[in-house]
């Protein structure tokens, strides 16, 4: 049998990097075509016909595309384009700028329609949330909330009085000691002695993430942050005195610096806020009712 040996020209061609690159590209294209057939079936395909397959593809490539609604740049669209241009330019756009803005608007519109045709709006949770929010806004805009009567406002205020009550607030300084065992208690005694001798609180105790000083904090907030045991009697503590307190974090030497008295809710002072809150609640209720009506037209399956 005759053995055909590669010529020197052939050996040189095989060693060419460009040949390797082309071969790898062909292999990757073939693998992608094999693995991605189902994936590409859901979007319009781009067919590249070779000379051998040209006749078979010609009929398909010559088929008319599906009818699409035209992109109309009418007077309303031009007004929108001009307003958008003025918004981001900070001035009225020139004629040349309006031409560029119009072309950008057309590109944006066609890309938006292409995205809808390919179903991209169904696969993005951000778009899903944005459209739902926009629809909720449309329903809210369609809602007419009447002006409340004085009796309605006062009844609303009475039912939600806590929203306009200003609670008592405290300013205090503390030194934190980690732990609650006997060793921590002994360290806290040492801190108390140093404070009594006039030492600065910032140089004592252990590090506390929120710092040494708290200002204008309601007792309810402090109870949520430190625990009920920490705030028990805090508002009655003599200002300027260091008192040991226990929190969910450990031990604290606490000095009350100032107590700011709270204020009862006052309808006259809060009237404008009460009116706005009343109108917002009515609008929210109307939107919720509109959504319930919309539900009646949809089948909801809960497997």
Is residue 247 assigned to a domain?
Answer: yes
d(CA 191, CA 194): 5
Looking at the structure, do residues 155 and 278 belong to the same domain, yes or no?
Answer: yes
Cα–Cα distances in angstroms (integers) from residue 286 to residues 149, 290, 292, in the given order: 18, 6, 10
d(CA 100, CA 107): 11
Q: Which pLDDT does position 53 carry in this prediction? A: 40
Q: Name the band, by pLDDT with cuts 50, 70 and 90, for residue 16.
A: low
Looking at the structure, do residues 224 and 293 belong to the same domain, yes or no?
Answer: no
Q: 191, 253 in Cβ contact below 8 A?
A: yes
Looking at the structure, do residues 182 and 159 belong to the same domain, yes or no?
Answer: no
Beta-carbon contacts of 30 under 8 Å, excluding residues fewer than 6 positions away, are none
Looking at the structure, do residues 171 and 246 belong to the same domain, yes or no?
Answer: yes
Q: Name the band, by pLDDT with cuts 50, 70 and 90, for residue 64.
A: low
Is residue 3 assigned to a domain?
Answer: no
Report helix, strand or coil for 26: helix
Question: pLDDT digit string (tens) for 212-245?
Answer: 999 999 999 999 999 999 999 999 999 999 999 9
Using the predicted structure, report yes or no on whether residue 21 has a pLDDT greater than 80.
no
Total domain count, the chain: 2
CA 183 to chain centre: 46
- Show the domain range for 179: 167-260
Q: Give whichever of 67-76, 111-120, 149-158 has the largest mean pLDDT.
A: 149-158
Range of lowest pLDDT (3-7, 165-169, 174-178, 183-187): 3-7
Cα torsion angle, 231, 232, 236, 239, sign: negative
Q: Which pLDDT does position 239 carry in this prediction? A: 94
Q: Name the token pair of 220.
A: 């309810």
Question: Residue 214: left if φ>0, alpha if ψ -120 to 50, beta else—which one?
Answer: beta
Using the predicted structure, report yes or no on whether residue 102 has a pLDDT greater than 60.
yes
CB atoms within 10 A of CB 117: 12
Is residue 250 assigned to a domain?
Answer: yes
């Amino acid at each position: 049998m005759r053995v055909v040996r590669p010529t020197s020209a052939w050996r040189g061609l095989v060693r060419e990097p460009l040949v390797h690159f082309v071969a790898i590209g062909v292999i990757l294209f073939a693998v992608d075509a094999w693995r991605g057939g189902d994936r590409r079936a859901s979007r319009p395909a781009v067919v590249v016909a070779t000379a051998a397959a040209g006749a078979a593809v010609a009929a398909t490539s010559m088929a008319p595309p599906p009818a699409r609604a035209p992109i109309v740049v009418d007077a309303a669209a031009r007004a929108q384009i001009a307003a958008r241009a003025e918004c981001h330019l900070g001035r009225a756009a020139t004629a040349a700028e309006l031409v560029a803005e119009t072309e950008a608007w057309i590109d944006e519109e066609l890309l938006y329609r292409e995205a809808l045709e390919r179903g991209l709006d169904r696969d993005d949770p951000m778009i899903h949330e944005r459209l739902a929010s926009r629809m909720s806004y449309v329903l809210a805009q369609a809602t007419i909330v009447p002006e409340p009567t004085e009796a309605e406002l006062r009844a609303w205020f009475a039912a939600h009085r806590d929203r306009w009550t200003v609670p008592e607030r405290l300013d205090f300084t503390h030194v934190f000691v980690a732990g609650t065992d006997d060793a921590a208690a002994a360290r806290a005694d040492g801190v108390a002695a140093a404070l009594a001798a006039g030492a600065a609180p910032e140089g004592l105790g252990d590090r506390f993430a929120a710092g040494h000083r708290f200002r204008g904090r309601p007792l309810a907030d402090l109870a949520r942050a430190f625990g009920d045991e920490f705030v028990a009697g805090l508002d009655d503590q003599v200002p300027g005195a260091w008192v040991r307190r226990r929190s969910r974090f450990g031990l604290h030497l606490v000095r009350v610096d100032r107590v700011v008295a709270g204020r009862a809710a006052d309808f006259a002072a809060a009237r404008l806020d009460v009116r706005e809150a009343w109108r917002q609640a009515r609008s929210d209720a109307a939107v919720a009712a509109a959504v319930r009506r919309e539900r009646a037209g949809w089948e909801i399956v809960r497997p």
